[in-house]
Amino acid sequence: MKPVYSLIVVLIMLVVGGIIVMQGEPEEKVGLSGVMELVGDAQRTALKPAMVVTRVSAAEEMELGARLAGHMSFGYGRDQESEDFKKTEAYIKRLGRSLLGSISRKEINYDFHLIDAEMVNAFALPGGQIFVFRGLVDFVESEAELASILGHEITHVDARHCIESFQAEMAAEKVAGTVLGDDRWLAGMAMRFASRIIQGGYRQYQEFEADARGLKFSADAGYDPSAAEKVMQRLGEKYQEETPPKKAADPVAELAVAVKTAAGSYFRSHPPTPDRVERLRQQASQHTGNRKFYIGKDNLKQRLTRAQKEIPEEFASTR
């Protein structure tokens, strides 16, 4: 489908959605978030031809992700030699891998990276490359909260949000041939793609999906399902007043700007936090029964996962 037709489809869906919203008081209210999910589905359908043309295998996606990750430049020197950095990154890797039991795409190998910067954020690249800012690790209050965010980013890979978004970028730039071609193009693309994801996130329906499945991944691994709504609530309260970043001149500068404004821009561009918190609360309530879940506040402080050091006092019954 040509871009102009894609735009027409989206506009039609917006008009139809607006009419539905204005129709009095139906038995079940249709909110703006529902309309936007409908529009998201229309956009995804419109992009399907481009996805087919640029379709990549799991092996190609992982190679692509590794190469994109290799081109990441954040304008910060990673103090990879410090014991604290190495211990924290090893902690994130262990925790991340413990959440992969319920993923659908078993053929994808995941790698988790720590960025030595104070920004409160995380993002994913195609092929299982997950990046976590040190500021996020310092912001969360428990291993369960960190697990819910890692689960969210894992979902963006598992549900193909990352690779489909990258394919859409390729289609928009009319890139021909293999996605693993020109390395100079890939270097620029890596930073443009990362900056766009950090600042703008994904479509609303994709963020809702990542919230829901991320919560499930962490709950399936035994972590407190209410942690997701708690950390989302605090993040929304902290960053709701952030102002938009200025436009950068080139991909390197753009990524630097994105990193400096990452947390605020993330919550400006993603679904409204109250809506996300309410959805997470409802989803957490589905995990009921006599099962006990793990919180892990002390585990986070010690940088030792539950698998390494299970503390009896860190268990909590569901609400």
* 175 and 234 Cβ atoms separated by less than 8 Å: no
Mean pLDDT along residues 30-50: 42
Q: What is the pLDDT of residue 26?
A: 34
> Is residue 319 pLDDT above 70, yes or no?
no
Least confident stretch, 55-64, 107-116, 245-254, 296-305 = 245-254
> Is residue 228 pLDDT above 70, yes or no?
yes
Residue ranges covered by each domain of the chain:
1-53, 57-317
pTM over 0.85: no
Q: 4 or 273, which is more confident?
A: 273
> Is residue 217 pLDDT above 90, yes or no?
yes
Mean pLDDT along residues 125-144: 94
Q: What percent of the chain has pLDDT over 70?
A: 63
* 230 and 145 Cβ atoms separated by less than 8 Å: yes
pLDDT tens for each residue of 187-213: 777 777 777 777 777 888 898 999 999
- How is residue 245 written in tokens? 């970043």
pLDDT tens for each residue of 72-131: 766 555 566 789 999 999 999 999 999 999 999 999 999 999 998 888 888 999 999 999
pLDDT tens for each residue of 298-316: 999 999 999 999 999 999 8
Q: What is the pLDDT of residue 72?
A: 76
Q: 9 or 86, which is more confident?
A: 86
